[in-house]
Amino acid sequence: MAKDLVFGIDIGGQSAKYGIVNMAGEVLAQNKWETAVPPTDAQVYIDTLAKALKDLLVKSGINSERIHGIGVGAPNGNYYHGVIECAPNLPWAHTRVEFAKMLEEATGFPVKLTNDANAAALGEMKYGVAQGMRDFIMITLGTGVGSGIVIGGQMVYGHDGFAGELGHTVAVPGGRPCGCGKKGCLEAYCSAIGVARTAREWLEESKEPSVLRDVPKITSKDVYDAAKKGDALALRVFEFTGRLLGTKLADFIAFSAPEAIVLFGGLAHARDFLTKPIVEAMNEEVLPLWKGKVKLLYSALPEADAAILGASALGWEA
């Protein structure tokens, strides 16, 4: 029987999305395992996940012999060693977990693992707007800021498997504390959490009228909704965020000369407010050699399937 399907798994802090994908990038079946209190033991987590995968096969009526392998995107996932190491938002992975090996043993399928941003880049290259591109950078704008770098058609992993942490390059020297322990990281400003924090700080520092003053716990979506209503402060938050991101993108262009930069993630929904400041700042700060040459694109993967598709692209390597 042809092994013409793969599993794609996207692991988050309190959930795991998983699905069965064919060679055309169609998600044939999917589900989501969500828990308010994730297991603290890695083996318990993996056994639960393995059972969920087997249940999906049974429910969908798909023969397990068609599964080529499993691709996994996870925070701090190491492609070379198949481990998840010191992932702060995964209570079962605060130390080194041999995730790929353990999931292989639990399911009987070969497993390939990488971090979630690299998985997104692989998915975009196989199924999305980066098809046919050999040089591009994927920037994921979600709770954090992740990145996947493709050069010459190959994902850049570095000597230890952790290359590409562009979200933890410094955007504002001596700036906000970041969850990584540094100060002023791009992630501290241009993530969903960073956008909400900018709005809260500006509201505290001024008496400027804003619909956000009536919101008790501001999120990036609240800022987005306010911007859609023409709220001046919310619009300036996105202008600030976009220019900061565009300035850093100019630096990223200098080291890899990509054909395009692809934005992905929840915050990318605010493209109507981010695109202009990003492109303006990027072209102001980039070397003349690349001015106007690098395309800014947004992920074309279906939002509901994107994380699964990204991880599944790795499953074909298993």
Tokens of 109: 């399928």
The arithmetic mean of pLDDT across residues 292-317, rounded, is: 90
Question: Looking at residue 12, what is its pLDDT?
Answer: 84
Question: Which has more confidence, 270 or 86?
Answer: 270
Domain 5-122+304-315 is found in CATH 1.10.10.10: no
Question: 31 with 16: CB under 8 angstroms?
Answer: no
Q: Where are the domains of the chain?
A: 5-122+304-315, 132-298
- CA angle 302–155–83, rounded 5-degree value: 90
**Banded model confidence at residue 238, pLDDT cuts 50, 70, 90:** very high
Tokens of 212: 């956000």
pTM: 0.89
Domain pair 5-122+304-315 / 132-298, same fold = yes
Q: What is the DSSP letter of 81?
A: T
Q: What is the mean pLDDT of the chain?
A: 94
Question: Looking at residue 303, what is its pLDDT?
Answer: 76
Question: Looking at residue 122, what is its pLDDT?
Answer: 92
Q: Is 231's pLDDT higher than 90?
A: yes
Calculate the alpha carbon distances from 177 to 105, 161, 187, 253 in Å: 40, 25, 10, 26
**What is the CATH code of the structural domain delimited by 132-298?**
3.30.420.40
Reference 306, options 246, 262, 272; nearest CA is: 262
Spatial strand order of the sheet with 83-85 comes to 77-78, 83-85, 96-97
Per-position DSSP letters for 286-307, written without gaps between them: S-GGGTTTSEEEE--S-TTTHH
| pLDDT tens column, 123-164 | 999 899 999 999 999 999 988 899 999 999 999 999 998 898
